[in-house]
Structure 1
Amino acid sequence: MKRREFLCLLSGSAVAGPLAARAEQSHLPIVGVLVVGAPGSEKFWRLFQEALRERGYVEGKTVKFEFRSDQGQIGRLPELAAELVRLDPDVIVTWFTPAATAAARATSKIPIVMAVAGDPVATGLVKSLSRPGGNITGMSGVDANLSGKTVQFIRDLLPSAHRVAVLANAPDPFSQPFLQRIRQAGAAAELEIDEKPIHDTAELDAAFVAIGRERPDAMIVQPSLPTKRAAQLALDYRIPAACTLHAFVDEGGLMSYWFAEVDLYQRAAAIVDKVLKGAMPADIPIEQPTKFELSINLKTAKALGVVVPQSLLALADQVIE
């Protein structure tokens, strides 16, 4: 081969390489991700990407991610969902019920996989867990009754408690099933449940001012609220607080009872894998978590003057000292 021909061929290959790479990237499956901007969303995103990576989905090589967070402003979810739909992704993954609801309202065609949701049947997202129908499937904690079990853990932690305040995120469609389970558990544990609906996250500080005057024995925070701020306010007002979100104890909350996140998101990633390989969401049963974790922050307990019983510590999967 002549040198000039060789150089032309080499030059053509150099040009063709990037062009081929760009062409290949343009055909990568697109995974849209829509999350409620609670603190645990960062951990979800990290663990979920790791779970997909284990299945061969690597950002920029075998998949393209489009991540959207409401940044703590739940009212932004509809516009963010519409933005994702305009990108025409192969699947939309949601984290928490408000995100799933926003995505469901934005599209009835693009597959939606719930990485975690409360009760998709009660909130009208699917027809049933075994046969969801439509374009939605994924993971649900409907049978886990985390909020109800949290009430029982509060009773175990504070045997003399009489009244528990509950901060509920009113715009979250799951707030009513969330409260219903707490009411039922409260009645069984002989605890008075004082419901405090929050209609806007800007109301959180004012809600704590009122709760601080009322002096409940304990508090439960719905996880789709700004839990980091709630944990700090609970400590400021010296109220033992619990939440069904693991990140809550890392933020200074006293106690959390939540799904084992690595297992949960690995299973969600497996469902996404099925959808990307052609399975229809309507035919994929919604799965239930089977592993759970109780976490207790002893540093917070000490600051509040709460003595955690050894029987409860023995049940804890994580203890922060």
Structure 2
Amino acid sequence: MSFSRRSLLACTGFLLGAFALGTPALAEDAFVAVTAIVEHPALDAARDGVRDELKAAGYEEGKNLKFIYESAQGNPGTAVQIAQKFVGESPSVIVPISTPSAQAVISATTDIPVVFTAVTDPLGAKLITNLEKPSGNVTGMSDLSPIGKQIDLIHEIVPGAKKIGVPFNPGEANAVTLVGLVKEKAAAMGMEVVEAPAPKSSDVQAAAQSLVGKVDVIYVPTDNTIVSALEAVIGVGVDNKLPVFAGDTDSVKRGAIAAIGFDYYDVGRQTGKIVARILKGEKPGDIAVQGIEITQLFVNPGAAEKMGVKLPEALVAGAKEVVK
């Protein structure tokens, strides 16, 4: 037996032994890095949905998946730092949750696959140039709110409302897009929008307070800055009998009176399916950006009563969830 043949057999024996012991091949391991601009229930639910969907697809933490998560705590500068850190760690896929985090990650890499989620307007935010064929290393999901349905909901519950107050962060591209859509839909119904800018979470209470006496209802869009400080808006609504509506259903559990929106855990599960496809070999640029078609109605009769509103019985009966 020659030396080279003995070496080959020895290596073969080692590899067979490793597989017999259940040692996973390195190529089968996956590393998914997730980041969000801020922590609040909707974005947290999206993160959890991604993790659970990956497990369902056969990628499980502690076995063949490394899964890490970091929040920028509402700071765009921190979002950039997290993006750069993730790129340095060379994960299999990066999943930025929210528009600011997606902008930071996509600016940091043109090589690592990126699957954004909870992004309102990926074209307007310049994340991609084509929804059907994103090309390059990027794809993801849009959570554009069903603004028309939400304005109809406001009109159904508060039929006399003529002015809608909208607190928002003018620094979030998604929020600017949403305010524009709210104005368009409200105008079609003879309603006016009053803006209340809040660049930081600490500005949210003052922004909401500035609307008192000027509007008939407050509408909180899926703006991460405002949603992260939602309790401040709810407090203003309760103290001044000013109904507060929301763009996401998780905010109804926190005290908004009603919302037609998405279950962000389901959004995360749908995102996780895209991530799994990439882990199995598909190129992100060949996967069309997906939207969310199923909407749900959540209502909170107790919160409505505190804000001086009684929800129609038929509306409550048809809700997906009635928050007690």
Q: TM-score range by the shorter chain?
A: 0.7 to 0.9
Q: Which residue of 2 aligns with 1:66?
A: 68
Alpha-carbon distance in 1 for matches of 2:93, 2:234: 34
Matched, 1:275 2:278: yes
Cα gap change, 1:26 to 1:271, in 2 (>3 Å): closer
Any conservation in 1 of the 2:243–2:308 contact (CA below 8 Å)?
A: no
Any conservation in 2 of the 1:221–1:227 contact (CA below 8 Å)?
A: no
User: Deviation at 1:111?
Assistant: 1.0
Any conservation in 2 of the 1:249–1:255 contact (CA below 8 Å)?
A: yes
User: Deviation at 1:129?
Assistant: 1.2
User: Deviation at 1:204?
Assistant: 1.2
Cα gap change, 1:26 to 1:281, in 2 (>3 Å): closer
Alpha-carbon distance in 2 for matches of 1:41, 1:266: 12
Amino acid across the alignment from 1:228? L
Q: Which residue of 1 aligns with 2:217?
A: 218
Amino acid across the alignment from 1:187? A
User: Deviation at 1:21?
Assistant: 8.4
Any conservation in 2 of the 1:152–1:185 contact (CA below 8 Å)?
A: no
TM-score, length basis structure 2: 0.85
Q: Which residue of 2 aligns with 1:7?
A: none
Alpha-carbon distance in 1 for matches of 2:173, 2:265: 25
Q: Which residue of 2 aligns with 1:119?
A: 121
* Residue aligned with 1:264, SS: helix
Any conservation in 1 of the 2:35–2:95 contact (CA below 8 Å)?
A: yes
Matched, 1:251 2:250: no
Bigger shift: residues 30-39 or 260-269: 260-269
Cα gap change, 1:206 to 1:260, in 2 (>3 Å): closer
Q: Which residue of 1 aligns with 2:7?
A: none
Cα gap change, 1:206 to 1:26, in 2 (>3 Å): farther
Amino acid across the alignment from 2:272? A
Number of residue pairs matched by the alignment: 302
- Structure 2 residues not aligned, in runs of 5+: 1-13
Per-residue deviation, residues 253-293 of structure 1 (Å, max 9, x unmatched): 11222223344322211110111112111110111212111
Matched, 1:35 2:10: no
Per-residue deviation, residues 3-45 of structure 1 (Å, max 9, x unmatched): xxxxxxxxxx9xx99xx98986797311010113233222222
4+ runs of 1 displaced by more than 4 Å? 20-27
Alpha-carbon distance in 2 for matches of 1:236, 1:103: 40
Per-residue deviation, residues 60-115 of structure 1 (Å, max 9, x unmatched): 21110120112233442111111211111111112121221111111122111123
TM-score, length basis structure 1: 0.86
Q: Percent identity?
A: 27
Cα gap change, 1:202 to 1:75, in 2 (>3 Å): farther
Per-residue deviation, residues 149-169 of structure 1 (Å, max 9, x unmatched): 212211111001111101112
Q: Which residue of 1 aligns with 2:135?
A: 133
User: Deviation at 1:217?
Assistant: 0.9
Q: Which residue of 2 aligns with 1:168?
A: 168
Matched, 1:242 2:245: yes
Cα gap change, 1:174 to 1:50, in 2 (>3 Å): same
Alpha-carbon distance in 1 for matches of 2:262, 2:80: 27
User: Deviation at 1:252?
Assistant: 1.1
Per-residue deviation, residues 131-164 of structure 1 (Å, max 9, x unmatched): 112221121134xx42332122111110011111
Cα gap change, 1:187 to 1:314, in 2 (>3 Å): farther
2:295 to 292, 297, 301: 292
Across the aligned residues of Structure 1 and Structure 2, the Cα RMSD in angstroms comes to 2.4
Any conservation in 1 of the 2:196–2:208 contact (CA below 8 Å)?
A: no
Matched, 1:56 2:55: no
- Structure 1 residues not aligned, in runs of 5+: 1-12
2:99 to 75, 81, 97: 97
Amino acid across the alignment from 1:30? F
Cα gap change, 1:316 to 1:58, in 2 (>3 Å): same
Per-residue deviation, residues 224-247 of structure 1 (Å, max 9, x unmatched): 122433334433443211222221
Alpha-carbon distance in 2 for matches of 1:154, 1:191: 11
Amino acid across the alignment from 2:89? L
Q: Which residue of 2 aligns with 1:9?
A: none
User: Deviation at 1:57?
Assistant: 1.1
